[in-house]
Amino acid sequence: MELPEFAPGQTARVELTVTDADTAQAIGSGDVPVLATPRVLAIAEAATVACTARQLPGGVTTVGTRAEVEHRAATPVGRHVTAQATLAKVDGRKLIFDVAVKDGDTLVAEVRVERVVLDRQRFIQKAVS
């Protein structure tokens, strides 16, 4: 498998309008009607996927292997959040991203996500056997 060329500093952005289905109450990660931490992580990971998607050749993908989430502010239903992922470091097949999740100017969360570049088919075969 030939590794694509990734450059630290590349970015991607994903947006979400918070609905009842995105809340801690709905997901079961708490009992309050605000954006759930698992949804914060999901939008952060979606931004990291978007950051590298255009450069991945057929048959190659990335998978998340580690994440650190610092959820700083509550976000109520109806608010619009953005997750801006920046590729911070490339170490062989390992990609490290810093993601800022914001509600306007308010920093909702800081997330560090580690992903690994791999052969999609080989990964799926190992997972199902």
Residue 1 lies in a domain: no
pTM assigned to the model: 0.95
pLDDT score for 5? 86
d(CA 84, CA 97): 10
Q: Residue 51: which CATH number?
A: 3.10.129.10
Q: Mean of the pLDDT values across residues 53-60? A: 92
106-118 pLDDT, tens digit each: 999 999 999 999 9
| Entry field: residues in the chain | 129
Residue 5 lies in a domain: no
Q: How many domains does the chain have?
A: 1
| HEC per residue, 27-91 | HCCCCCCEECHHHHHHHHHHHHHHHHHCCCCCCEEEEEEEEEEEECCCCECCCEEEEEEEEEEEE
Residue 123 lies in a domain: yes
Positive or negative torsion for Cα 29, 79, 41, 121: positive
pLDDT score for 2? 74
Q: Mean of the pLDDT values across residues 12-31? A: 98
Residue 95 lies in a domain: yes
Phi, psi of 48 (to 5 degrees): -70, -40
Residue 67 lies in a domain: yes
Residue 46 lies in a domain: yes
User: Residue 101 pairs with which residues in a beta bridge?
Assistant: 83, 109
Q: Which domain holds residue 81?
A: 11-128
Taking phi over 0 as left and psi of -120 to 50 as alpha, with beta for the rest, 37 belongs to: alpha
Residue 4 lies in a domain: no
Residue 3 lies in a domain: no
